[in-house]
């Protein structure tokens, strides 16, 4: 088996990949993550996942390189990482009573053959009606300022949900493991 490389500095993606019990290393790709003019969210996450994997191909020959990128979409608006308490409040107030779609782009690049599998795995969260006091309590408790949509689904953020829908709950956290297993199997990786 070729060595696995996760093209990410995300602790959330690293924790998810550890679930597969395969040895891997991590490296942060250096790419421009700006959205292209008029680029649909689906195309954006697939492009960025692929670019993250490709960015490390020359420095990691003979590897299977995993790239992933995620955006949260509310209506027509892409929600990025809030980075601040105030921006997180705005995002959660806007999401209150609505559904937020998470699009997670995934790429697996064989840096020996150049073959790259790319996909997007969607997941939808239907949010509860939230008032400002509840949002502020949540943000002070969990501080999810590095998370698209302003919540951590793997933590207390689940208390903000009314329901969820999708084929792979790990896509909500940022690395769709079910689809990744399909890609790894296609590359001949043995998994239990």
With beta carbons less than 8 A apart as the criterion, state whether 55 and 32 touch. no
Q: Does the annotation count 168 as an active-site position?
A: no
The encoded tokens of residue 120 equal: 């997007």
Which residues touch 178 (CB under 8 Å, ≥6 apart)? 121, 167, 168, 170
Catalytic choice (32, 69, 119, 131): 69
With beta carbons less than 8 A apart as the criterion, state whether 183 and 117 touch. yes
Dihedral of CA 83/88/91/97: which sign?
A: positive
In order, the DSSP letters of 41-62 are: HHHHHHHHHHHHHHHTTTTSTT
Active site residues: 69
């Amino acid at each position: 088996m070729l060595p696995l490389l996760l093209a990410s500095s995300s602790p959330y993606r690293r924790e998810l990949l550890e679930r597969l019990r395969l040895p891997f290393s991590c490296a942060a790709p250096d790419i421009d993550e700006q959205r292209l003019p008029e680029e649909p969210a689906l195309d954006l996450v697939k492009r960025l996942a692929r670019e993250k994997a490709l960015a490390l191909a020359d420095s990691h020959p003979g590897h299977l390189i995993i790239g992933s990128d995620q955006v949260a979409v509310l209506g027509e608006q892409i929600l990025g990482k809030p980075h601040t308490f105030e921006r997180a409040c705005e995002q959660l107030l806007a999401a209150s009573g609505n559904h937020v779609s998470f699009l997670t782009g995934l790429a697996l690049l064989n840096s020996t053959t150049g073959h790259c599998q790319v996909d997007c795995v969607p997941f939808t969260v239907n949010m509860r009606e939230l008032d400002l006091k509840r949002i502020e309590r949540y943000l002070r408790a969990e501080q999810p300022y590095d998370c698209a949509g302003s919540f951590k689904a793997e933590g207390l953020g689940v208390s903000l949900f009314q329901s969820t829908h999708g084929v792979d709950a790990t896509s909500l956290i940022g690395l769709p493991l079910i689809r990744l297993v399909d890609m790894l199997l296609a590359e001949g990786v043995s998994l239990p």
